[in-house]
């Protein structure tokens, strides 16, 4: 499963970064999955509101096709200033009727030009669930969400994306995507 977490845009007018809309998509989070023989089905929901809880209509299934997952009810962007951070909340559900297993996630950039990739490498990420850190670092990072996510079970993962205050001026006015890969493996 692939979750593309919006796009990040640093603008010259006030040095503002925007998390919100991926190129070619109307909304912020995009989910793909390509189940293998050892995988089970996952579905995801996400929001920038820490109090939000997904309803049945909010879940987006995997299954090999793209699904947009809005981060804000109004569809607007999340602002990210140099030296600042934003947090989004991903809900990962084991949508299998009976299979359980491990769930991992990794943060990667989409295929892009080198200058955009360099901008991505300046972002830092931190994710946690149930009081446990799942991943932390800059650029490409990965971590274990759950060793044994049972059928129907849900994990809430808080994902914080930050931009250092000393981001090089040469990287302003760049845009980069952020993808969250979520993988389920039957045990």
* Per-residue pLDDT at 78: 62
Please give the Cα distance from 68 to 29 (Å, whole number): 6
Q: Which residues pair with 78 in a beta bridge?
A: 19
Check residue 175 and give its pLDDT.
62
Q: What backbone phi and psi angles, to 5 degrees, belong to 56?
A: -55, -35
């389920």: which residue's tokens? 184
* 41 CB neighbour count, 10 Å cutoff: 18
pTM, to two decimals: 0.76
Give the whole-angstrom CA distance, residue 185 versus residue 54: 24
Q: How many CB atoms lie within 10 A of CB 36?
A: 10
How many CB atoms within 10 Å of residue 136?
13
pLDDT number for residue 6: 42
Residues of the chain with pLDDT under 70: 1-39, 62-80, 110-117, 172-177, 187
What is the reported pLDDT for 152? 92
pLDDT in the model for residue 55: 93
Which residues, 6 or more positions from 8, have their beta carbon under 8 angstroms from its beta carbon?
A: 17, 18, 19, 80, 119, 120, 123, 161, 163, 175, 176, 177, 178
Q: What is the dihedral of CA 48, 87, 159, 52, to 10 degrees?
A: -30
Spell out the alpha helix ranges (H) of 28-77.
Answer: none
pLDDT at residue 157 in the model: 92
Provide the 3-class DSSP secondary structure of residue 58: helix
Residue 146 structure tokens? 């759950």
Taking the C-alpha atoms of residue 156 and residue 152, their distance in angstroms, rounded to an integer, is 13
Nearest to 122 by CA among 71, 156, 169, 88: 169
Tell me how far apart the alpha carbons of residues 127 and 154 are, in angstroms, rounded to a whole number: 16
Domains in the chain: boundaries: 2-186
């Amino acid at each position: 499963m692939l979750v593309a977490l919006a796009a990040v845009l640093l603008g010259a007018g006030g040095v503002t970064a925007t998390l919100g809309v991926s190129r070619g998509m109307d909304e912020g989070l995009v989910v793909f999955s390509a189940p293998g023989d050892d995988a089970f089905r996952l579905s995801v929901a996400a929001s920038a509101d820490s109090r939000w809880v997904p309803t049945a209509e909010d879940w987006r299934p995997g299954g090999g096709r793209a699904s947009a997952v809005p981060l804000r009810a109004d569809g607007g962007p999340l602002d990210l200033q140099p030296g600042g951070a934003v947090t989004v909340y991903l809900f990962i559900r084991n949508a299998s009727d009976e299979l359980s297993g491990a769930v991992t996630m990794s943060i990667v950039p989409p295929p892009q030009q080198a200058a955009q990739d360099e901008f991505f490498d300046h972002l830092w990420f931190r994710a946690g669930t149930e009081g446990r850190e799942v991943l932390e670092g800059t650029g490409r990072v990965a971590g274990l969400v759950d060793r044994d996510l049972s059928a129907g079970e849900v994990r809430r993962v808080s994902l914080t994306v930050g931009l250092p205050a000393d981001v090089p001026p040469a990287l302003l006015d760049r845009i980069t995507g952020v993808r969250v890969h979520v993988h389920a493996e039957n045990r």
